Amino acid sequence: AQSVTQLGSHVSVSEGALVLLRCNYSSSVPPYLFWYVQYPNQGLQLLLKYTSAATLVKGINGFEAEFKKSETSFHLTKPSAHMSDAAEYFCAVSDSRGKLIFGQGTELSVKP
């Protein structure tokens, strides 16, 4: 069965610092992988997705993620954090029937 583990329920970085949010997945089939962002009292917005094309995926707001099959990882990065990046981030994997399985979420705080 597919599953997703996000390491760290809360990550804090300084403005201008590297953002690294970790996601490991388990899948018995070639996975589709997603990162979503949720701002307070909002729905989830798609940041980027991996669908077996390029392993380095670029998304909105300067975020990118790299699919590493050998490590079963799909970590989200951004070179320089901005205050507006403070939000909750969800990693998700699509199971063999097409249903999205979400991780527990990682709350990102950005300090001035």
Partner 1 sequence: ETGVTQTPRHLVMGMTNKKSLKCEQHLGHNAMYWYKQSAKKPLELMFVYNFKEQTENNSVPSRFSPECPNSSHLFLHLHTLQPEDSALYLCASSPSKAAGGVGYTFGSGTRLTVV
CA atoms of 100 and 78, how far apart (whole Å): 24
Tokens for 67, please give them. 């699919």
- Indicate whether 22 belongs to the interface with partner 1 (CB under 8 A): no
- Indicate whether 32 belongs to the interface with partner 1 (CB under 8 A): yes
- Indicate whether 80 belongs to the interface with partner 1 (CB under 8 A): no
Q: Which of 17, 64, 72, 95 binds partner 1 (CB under 8 A)?
A: 95
- Indicate whether 102 belongs to the interface with partner 1 (CB under 8 A): yes
Which H or E element spans position 21? strand 19-26
Question: Which residue in the block uniquely carries the two structure tokens 């917005």?
Answer: 45
Nearer to partner 1, 14 or 45 (CB): 45
Tokens for 32, please give them. 């589709």
Calculate the alpha carbon distances from 16 to 13, 35, 78, 82, 88 in Å: 8, 21, 10, 6, 18
Q: How far is the CB of 92 from partner 1 (least distance, A)?
A: 8
Q: Which of 3, 14, 45, 55 binds partner 1 (CB under 8 A)?
A: 45
Binding region for partner 1 (CB under 8 A)? 32, 34, 36, 41-46, 49, 51, 90, 92, 94-95, 97-100, 102-105
